[in-house]
A and B are shown apart, each in its own frame.
Chain A
Amino acid sequence: MKILTERMEAHRTDSHTIERYEATGGYSALRKGFEIGPEAVTAEVKASNIRGRGGANFPAGVKWGFLAPARPAYLVINADESEPGTFKDRQLLERDPHQLVEGVVLSSYALGVNHAFIYIRGEYPKPARRVQHAVDEAYAKGYLGKDILGSGFDLDVTVHLGGGAYICGEESALLNSLEGRRGEPRIKPPFPAVEGLYSKPTIVNNVETISNVPWIVSNGGIAYASIGPDTSAGTRLISLSGHINKPGNYEIVMGMTWRDLIYDIGGGIPGGRELKAWIPGGSSAPWFVPAEHLDTPATIDDVNDLGSMMGSGAVIVMDETTDVVAAAHRIVRFYSHESCGQCTPCREGTTWLERIFNRLLNGQGRMADIDLLIDVSDGISPGLTWPPAMTTICPLGPSATAPVVSIMKYFRDEVEARVVSGIPVALEAADG
């Protein structure tokens, strides 16, 4: 079952062009949408049960329902894909930008929005060029602009390029950034649906979420909802990376086990090595290990129940050679670098964690550092529970604690050995 990637797989060379898009049924959902009216479009999206694909997995139809009545209202597409391990939106932007544009027009129409923004991360110039080109084509063909297809509906789309800040993937930080401010997350409430861009009601949706809207309108929300498990409806793109034979994006129907995903779809571990651990949903997610999780289902709810998350659908695989202390350090370093600096625990705590790791890696670790790592993490995410409690405005800081908790939980002996010898356990094994 392919929804998002069917066209690009069938048409390698031109799936991104308006000619191919139109020739394969593109913009017919838009015509249907104008026929059935905005309420009906909204109803289909609600009926589809599609959950946001940006990482939080919040039901999109419910989010739309929160949009306050004040106008103007805005739709903002979050294409600031930055979670380590995630590269699915890039493929959708490059290979099928019109699918997104049609989704934007339909969604804007449903929401009563006349100006939409597509916020693309700055490091994605090529995807941005493709999207801008698609937007230009859509204007030229009358799919954007005034009185679209004679519907009386007007829509402008601005493609906006970010400046290099992971935190702008957080929707309120993204809105600040789009307003020309520092990308600092806002206090919620108010939520963007009530006070968003320019303090006006705003819906922020992920690229993948909105790219599904044309199919949903064409085929009906119920048809979409019937795909996959009840609470993980539809297909979704999974990004496989790390120590895996066949890395890449895969559009799957949720419900298969991790073993299926890693060994069948991903082709297993290179060199026949052993699987040591994997991160099930982007680098913010607590790790899974084969002994406990390999035969559990990869659905939003199952993963959540087991103390982690599907997040953005990014699966990062680590084999037996992995130095887990170094790997955890690399993830902690990311969050320290990307902290916006507003909240004390995140600004100071993530950097402190990184510096303790630096000492461990340099052979200057102390046994007390193990408890210190845990306690500093606890100061950012009290109790180190799942889902994480937070002493911070947004989940960035708590995300940095996931690898710390994971290595202490599953590989504490390796961390202790590292303190004692200063040498990675994996390396010792190789030497031994």
Chain B
Amino acid sequence: MKPATLSEAEMDAISDWSESSQQLVRELLGKYPDKRSAVMPLLYVSMIENGYVTAEGMKSVAVLTGLTGAQVQSVASFYSMYKREELGKYLVSVCTSISCFLLGADDVLAAIEDETGVPDGETGHDGTFTVEHVECNGACGGAPVVLVNYEMVEGVTAEKARELVKWLRDGGPDVVGTEEMQQLFGGAKSFDWAVREPEGAVLPVPAFAPYGSARGVK
């Protein structure tokens, strides 16, 4: 799967993107038989560049995939992870679906809202936190579960959640690592994680190495 070659117009559309993102664009476009398929990963790349999905970012993705802005917006707005407003440094997502709910997720969410001072669905004034409740995150065996920049902590209690918030606020890491947070603030896990995860997130974008915000955890 060879990286794609970009036309002049396509390069123009991402001329203000970082070189590494431009290279990602080429690689991503090379991974699919039809360039429209790259819309979703390219939206993540645009979030890395702009912090969230901006109109300009969508326009760039539209040029890269041969779509109209309306089409890209239609796709982006369908999925809950393409955030359309500026986010805090840490996106704190609390699962409140059935299994987490049964084990006290609402208390965890309330504790996080209280400790951050940021209501569900909003971003704090200082830009540190965005707090949201989310639907099931596939950690029901380790309920309740909290994600920070999509890095998971399982078996969280309201108390531990407050500690997590304080830790993040008072000099939290640049790279959010699931293992570190689990050790410090987690409890029961869905299954044995077995081995230390070497990568973590640097942005509220899923830290998926080929195009997300992943970076090595110290």
* B residues adjacent to A (C-beta < 8 A): 1, 31-34, 36-41, 43-44, 65, 67, 74-76, 78-82, 96-99, 101-103, 134-143, 147, 150-152, 178, 188, 190-195, 197, 199, 201, 206-212, 214
Are the C-beta atoms of A132 and B99 separated by less than 8 Å?
no
User: Is A163 at the interface (CB under 8 A from chain B)?
Assistant: yes
User: Is A248 at the interface (CB under 8 A from chain B)?
Assistant: yes
In the bound assembly, the distance between CA atoms of A84 and B134 in angstroms comes to 12
Are the C-beta atoms of A85 and B151 separated by less than 8 Å?
no
| Set of chain A residues within 8 Å of B190, measured between Cβ atoms | 87, 90-91, 239, 247-249
What is the CB-to-nearest-CB distance from B134 to chain A, in angstroms, rounded to a whole number? 8
In the bound assembly, the distance between CA atoms of A177 and B41 in angstroms comes to 11
The residues in A between 150 and 184 inclusive whose CB is less than 8 angstroms from any CB of B are: 156, 158-166, 177-183
Residue of A14, A161, A249 near B41 (CB, 8 A) is A161
What is the CB-to-nearest-CB distance from A398 to chain B, in angstroms, rounded to a whole number? 17
Chain A interface residue bracket vs B: 35 or more
One of A34-42, A101-109, A121-129, A405-413 at the interface: A121-129
Are the C-beta atoms of B141 and A87 separated by less than 8 Å?
yes
Are the C-beta atoms of B97 and A330 separated by less than 8 Å?
yes
Are the C-beta atoms of B152 and A126 separated by less than 8 Å?
yes
Sample of 5 more A-B contacts, CB < 8 Å, known A161-B212, A181-B75: A8-B192, A123-B206, A164-B80, A183-B78, A249-B190
The residues in A between 105 and 122 inclusive whose CB is less than 8 angstroms from any CB of B are: 115, 121-122
In the bound assembly, the distance between CA atoms of A129 and B1 in angstroms comes to 19
What is the CB-to-nearest-CB distance from A20 to chain B, in angstroms, rounded to a whole number? 11
Are the C-beta atoms of A241 and B99 separated by less than 8 Å?
yes
Residue of A15, A133, A248, A334 near B135 (CB, 8 A) is A334
Are the C-beta atoms of B136 and A179 separated by less than 8 Å?
no
| Set of chain A residues within 8 Å of B195, measured between Cβ atoms | 12-14, 16
In the bound assembly, the distance between CA atoms of A83 and B207 in angstroms comes to 22
Which residue of chain B is the closest to A314 with respect to CB atoms?
B140
Are the C-beta atoms of B78 and A163 separated by less than 8 Å?
yes
What is the CB-to-nearest-CB distance from A301 to chain B, in angstroms, rounded to a whole number? 25
Are the C-beta atoms of B96 and A123 separated by less than 8 Å?
no
Residue of A95, A159, A179, A241 near B36 (CB, 8 A) is A179
| Set of chain B residues within 8 Å of A257, measured between Cβ atoms | none
User: Is A81 at the interface (CB under 8 A from chain B)?
Assistant: yes
| Set of chain B residues within 8 Å of A316, measured between Cβ atoms | 98-99, 102, 140
In the bound assembly, the distance between CA atoms of A122 and B199 in angstroms comes to 16
| Set of chain B residues within 8 Å of A242, measured between Cβ atoms | 98-99, 102-103, 140, 143
Which residue of chain A is the closest to B38 with respect to CB atoms?
A180
What is the CB-to-nearest-CB distance from A159 to chain B, in angstroms, rounded to a whole number? 7
Given contact pairs A180-B39, A180-B65, A327 touches B101 in the complex (Cβ within 8 A): yes
| Set of chain B residues within 8 Å of A126, measured between Cβ atoms | 151-152, 178, 197, 199, 207
Are the C-beta atoms of B79 and A247 separated by less than 8 Å?
no
Residue of B31, B76, B207 near A125 (CB, 8 A) is B207
| Set of chain B residues within 8 Å of A83, measured between Cβ atoms | 136
| Set of chain B residues within 8 Å of A340, measured between Cβ atoms | 78
Are the C-beta atoms of A163 and B80 separated by less than 8 Å?
yes
User: Is A82 at the interface (CB under 8 A from chain B)?
Assistant: yes
Are the C-beta atoms of B34 and A129 separated by less than 8 Å?
no
Are the C-beta atoms of B37 and A318 separated by less than 8 Å?
no
Are the C-beta atoms of B194 and A84 separated by less than 8 Å?
no
| Set of chain A residues within 8 Å of B135, measured between Cβ atoms | 82, 84, 166, 334, 337-338
Are the C-beta atoms of B194 and A124 separated by less than 8 Å?
no
Taken residue by residue from 403 to 432, chain A's Cβ proximity to chain B (1 for < 8 Å, 0 otherwise) reads as 000000000000000000000000000000
The residues in A between 197 and 230 inclusive whose CB is less than 8 angstroms from any CB of B are: 198
User: Is A94 at the interface (CB under 8 A from chain B)?
Assistant: yes
Are the C-beta atoms of A132 and B96 separated by less than 8 Å?
no
Residue of A84, A160, A163 near B98 (CB, 8 A) is A84
| Set of chain B residues within 8 Å of A399, measured between Cβ atoms | none
Which residue of chain A is the closest to B42 with respect to CB atoms?
A180
| Set of chain A residues within 8 Å of B102, measured between Cβ atoms | 242-243, 316, 318, 322, 327
User: Is A86 at the interface (CB under 8 A from chain B)?
Assistant: yes
